[in-house]
Amino acid sequence: MVRIGSFLALAAAIVFSFSSCTKDKNEDCPFLAPHVIYVGFSENESDTLVFHRYEKNSNFSKLIDTMRITRAHIQRIAVGEDSFRLEPDNYPEFNAKFYLHDWIITVPAVRRSIRITDATPRFTQEKQPSAQCQSYVSSVMFDDKLYSFTSWFDIPYRVYAVK
């Protein structure tokens, strides 16, 4: 009985050591999309957003999916007197897959469409686990304006949709 217990303990230790040794400490850090700041929209005008996801570089001809997000699923975060972030809680694809697709965000109440193209990701890696490690976009064409970033903690790591 002692032999079986010793054998199991040894086997568990070997499996644990191999799994920790084979973990690649140089994996890409999680991706973080820039914050979208809406400027000049009232709360009623921005209570619904529609996200259209397209195949990248398709000139908006190959729609992948569309997601309508209403007030119940939008977190509104003030960033200025007439500006705020709208964070949808039910469409994580926008943040996670921001760089993989082209996008159109529509604000139906004001018939405003915002085009997002040419998102160029910058993948960073870490050698030690850290909460500060994030991959980000180094540039993106947002609403016909080119934004460039040197890190995800640039002040500000934001793009602006003006009414």
Q: Is the pLDDT of residue 27 over 60?
A: yes
- pLDDT value of position 92: 85
What residues pair up with 146 in beta bridges, in sequence order?
141
pLDDT in tens, 53-73: 999 999 999 999 999 999 999
Q: Average pLDDT, stretch 134-144?
A: 90
75-81-84 Cα angle (round to 5): 25
Q: Average pLDDT, stretch 128-147?
A: 82
Phi, psi of 160 (to 5 degrees): -120, 130
Pairwise CA distance, residues 77 & 83, whole Å: 9
Question: Which residue blocks in 74-162 are alpha helix, DSSP H?
Answer: 93-96
Q: Please, which pLDDT band fits residue 128 given cuts at 50, 70 and 90? A: low
Q: Is the pLDDT of residue 127 over 70?
A: no
The torsion region of residue 57 among left (phi > 0), alpha (psi -120 to 50) and beta comes to left
Q: Is the pLDDT of residue 15 over 60?
A: no
- Name the more confident of 147 and 152: 147
Q: Is the pLDDT of residue 5 over 70?
A: no
Pairwise CA distance, residues 127 & 27, whole Å: 8
Q: Please, which pLDDT band fits residue 14 given cuts at 50, 70 and 90? A: very low
Q: Are 157 and 149 in contact (CB under 8 A)?
A: yes
